[in-house]
Each structure stands twice: as structure tokens, then as C-alpha cells.
Amino acid sequence: MKYSLGLILVLLNINTIYGQKINVKREFKFAEEQVNYMLSEIERADVKPGQVSPRTFENGKLKLVVSKDWTSGFFPGVLWYLYEYTGDAKWLTQAKKFTAKLEKEQFNKGTHDLGFMIYCSYGNGFRLTKDENYKEVIIQAAKSLSTRFSPQTGVIRSWDHHKDVWQFPVIIDNMMNLELLFEATKLTGDSSFYKIAVTHANNTIKNHFRSDNSSYHVVDYNPENGSVNKKMTHQGYADESAWARGQAWALYGFTLCFRETGNRAYLNQANKIASFILNHPNLPKDLVPYWDFNAPGIPAEPRDASAAAIIASALYELAGYSNSDMYKKKAGTILRSLSKGYHSPAKKNGGFILIHSTGHKPAKSEIDVPLAYADYYYLEALLRSNRK
Ligand code: GLY
């Protein structure tokens, strides 16, 4: 069989585009430069007392949050990932410093977000250093989070705000906080944390998903008997729409539940969510979703790079539980897209790595901005891509 030189060149070219591996070394080098710059920007920023972690760069300003903000753990987590990749003691020092600023949150019983706050910071810290003090903080945080579980509803209460809107709200994001509970059972041998996590996950499968395998954002439970009052959105376009980051949290959450339990119902759920995301007609070719899969102005709607980074990280893990390399390829495409069209220019955007994320569009907040959690899951996905 004869091939023309032209055809061979076309085939080789396609292979370099689709087979190209993400350059992890170059990405981490850029991340180090940006975070170095961010550390100097923190020194120069108008930091109010109690503000500990950068969350976003909005209206020309680096914005930091107090330790009780749900995003406070991501910057320490970014520092831990830089230390993990480089082994550089400088990042260890910074990671320890920014992690310590969150210590009091281990006693916070007012939010479900302790998983994000404590596991991304102290969880990574313990994984990488085995520091016993970190272990104690993780266990205490899991105890605090467990107080939000109700045996009547069989789920962990997400929010205490907007008591006029709902009675016992549970958001799909809450799946992410289960990792802290699984870890606490491993550290203590006390299975009560594990039992809370699986009960929450089982009820989430039962109540949070539509027949197309997309997830509602909020499910409001009757606190007396656990029946469902209503299903709705808070950060998405509409009650019946598929808010992109919610789908990302769901994918990541059920993948980690399978890792921690071996229960194939969770793997099945994760595969169904991946299929919803990856086959959605509104998912752009670069696989970086619009902020909501049903946003009315698509294609003139903001993207959410944070959702893409979370999805990429989850897909790398899910690829390890699958016989096909499809998930790994999709995750690779996402990372290449993020590294090309979603990078901040050097020494801009307060030192964040990625731009073009959307925090809360209905509240007109954090639209098309950098977000700390986009950077955190981007680095995590890069590390995972390196492992497999
Ligand atoms: N967990 C809140 C958010 O994803 O915006």
C-alpha cells in the first residue's frame, strides 16, 4: 500500500496534536513563578486582619479571605502540591505557614466545607509530612463535620444560611467533604465517620440526580422525616439546569467514594456522570465547560476553568478504575486546553495560574476570573497525569 507524503504528514500532525503529552515540568515551573509573584503580592495587598488565603483576583485586586471561608484551604494546598512536585524546602516552609493559619477551623461546626478547608491544607500536609499535629487537626475537623449529619435525613447539612428558603439544604458540592471523613476513620479506626460518609453518598445517589444523570445543585430535606421538600439551584442558571461545577464535584465525589469503599454503585455513578459531561452537546471542543451546561446564551457565556480542572483531576483517577484509556485522553485534552487558552500571563492576575473561571454568576460575583480552586485542582490533575 502506498501513502502520499502529504497524507503521512497529516497523520503525523494529528498525532502530535492529540497524542501530545502535557508538559508537566513546564507547567510547574510556571506555577512556581506565579506563586512566588503571588507571595509578593500578598505582602503588598491591602490585607485586613484575619484574612489568610488568596481566593480570586477581581476588579484589579487580589482578594484574600478569612480562614472560615470555604476556599481558605486551596492556597495552602497549592503550596503543598508545589512542594510535592519540586521537593523544594522553600515550598514546605510556605505550605506549613499558610496551613497553620487555618488551625482554629477544626472546631468550626457551622459549615460542611471543612473537607475543602482542612483536607486540602492539613490533609495534604499530613500525607506529605506525617506530622502528628496535622493528624489531630484532621480528626477534630471530622468530628466537627460529623455534627452536621442528621440520622433523620441521612445526610450532612450543607448550609445554615437562607433559613427562609430551605430547611435542611444539601448541595452536591458536599460530596467533596466526605474525603475528610474517610480519612478520619483510617486514622482512628472509628467507623462512625465512614458510616456517615456512605449514608450521605447513598442518599445523594437517591435524591440528587435526574434521569439524564445530571445533578441538581441543592436538595432541601424535611429535617423531621428526611423526605425531599424541593430540588433547586443556587449558583446555577435554573433549578432544572446542570451547573457545570456541580457536575464536576459530583464526578470527583463519587470517584473518591469508590476509591475509599470499593462499592461499585459509586463507580457506576461516576461513570454515568462522566458520560453526561463528556457527551453533552454544549461541551465545547476544548472540553472546558460553560459555567452552566444549559446557560441560555451559549456560546456567548463565560467558561468555568475551575470545573474543567476538577473534571480533569477526577478523570485521571477514574481512568485507573477503567479498562479504556478514554478518560485519560479526555483529561489530557482538558489540561492541554487549560495550559494554552486559560493561562494567566506571567506576573498578572495577582499570581493565579489559570484565568476564565466563574464563581457565582447569578449573584454577579466572580465571573471570568481566576479562582484558587481552579489552580488547586489544575496542579492536582498535573500531578495525577504524571503518575499514570
Ligand atoms: N462549593 C462552592 C462552589 O463550588 O462554588
Read off the pLDDT of each residue in 159-163 and give the average, rounded to a whole number.
96
Q: Tell me if 5 is assigned to some domain.
A: no
Q: How many domains does the chain have?
A: 1
Read off the pLDDT of each residue in 84-92 and give the average, rounded to a whole number.
98
Q: Tell me if 252 is assigned to some domain.
A: yes
Closest by Cα among 217, 203, 209 to 166: 217
Q: Tell me if 4 is assigned to some domain.
A: no
Q: Tell me if 299 is assigned to some domain.
A: yes
Is 50 exceeded by the pLDDT of residue 2?
no
Which residues span the domain enclosing 258?
Answer: 25-386
Is 50 exceeded by the pLDDT of residue 11?
no
Q: Tell me if 188 is assigned to some domain.
A: yes
Read off the pLDDT of each residue in 332-357 and give the average, rounded to a whole number.
98
Q: 221 CB contacts (<8 Å, ≥6 apart)?
A: 153, 155, 167, 168, 169, 170, 207, 227, 228, 229
Most ligand 1 atoms within 8 A of CB, residue of 178, 235, 371 to mutate? 235
Which residue's alpha carbon is at the smallest distance from atom 1 of ligand 1? 173
**Atom of ligand 1 at shortest range from CA of 249:** 4
Which residue's alpha carbon is at the smallest distance from atom 5 of ligand 1? 359
What DSSP designation does 104 have?
A: G
User: Does the Cβ of 280 fall within 6 Å of ligand 1?
Assistant: no
User: What's the whole-model pTM score?
Assistant: 0.95
Would you tell me how many other CB atoms lie within 10 Å of the CB of residue 358?
A: 28
**Atom of ligand 1 at shortest range from CA of 245:** 4
For residue 116, the CA-to-ligand 1 centroid distance in Å is 10
Q: How far apart are CA 330 and CA 327, in angstroms?
A: 5
Span of 12-16, 88-92, 102-106, 195-199 with lowest mean pLDDT = 12-16
pLDDT in tens, 21-49: 899 999 999 999 999 999 999 999 889 99
Q: Tell me if 343 is assigned to some domain.
A: yes
**Atom of ligand 1 at shortest range from CA of 171:** 1
User: Does the Cβ of 174 fall within 6 Å of ligand 1?
Assistant: no
Q: How far apart are CA 71 and CA 54, in angstroms?
A: 9
Is 70 exceeded by the pLDDT of residue 88?
yes
Q: Tell me if 302 is assigned to some domain.
A: yes
pLDDT at position 174 is 98
CATH number of the structural domain spanning residue 250: 1.50.10.10
Q: 28 CB contacts (<8 Å, ≥6 apart)?
A: 82, 85, 86, 379, 382
State what percent of residues in the chain have pLDDT above 70.
95
pLDDT in tens, 258-316: 999 999 999 999 999 999 999 999 999 999 999 999 999 999 999 999 999 999 999 99
CB contact at 8 A, 181 and 197: yes
Residue 285, CA distances (Å) to 164, 176, 237, 302, 325 in order:
41, 27, 22, 15, 19
How open is the CA angle 274-280-282, to the nearest 5 degrees? 135
Read off the pLDDT of each residue in 197-214 and give the average, rounded to a whole number.
98
Q: Tell me if 155 is assigned to some domain.
A: yes
pLDDT interval class at 326 (50, 70, 90): very high
Most ligand 1 atoms within 8 A of CB, residue of 112, 173, 177 to mutate? 173
User: Does the Cβ of 215 fall within 6 Å of ligand 1?
Assistant: no
pLDDT at position 101 is 98
Most ligand 1 atoms within 8 A of CB, residue of 117, 245, 292, 371 to mutate? 245
pLDDT interval class at 387 (50, 70, 90): confident
User: Does the Cβ of 173 fall within 6 Å of ligand 1?
Assistant: yes
Q: How far apart are CA 312 and CA 327, in angstroms?
A: 9
User: Does the Cβ of 69 fall within 6 Å of ligand 1?
Assistant: no
Q: What is the mean pLDDT of the chain?
A: 95
pLDDT at position 6 is 47
Catalytic residue list = 113, 173
Q: How far apart are CA 168 and CA 227, in angstroms?
A: 10
Higher-confidence residue of 20 and 171: namely: 171
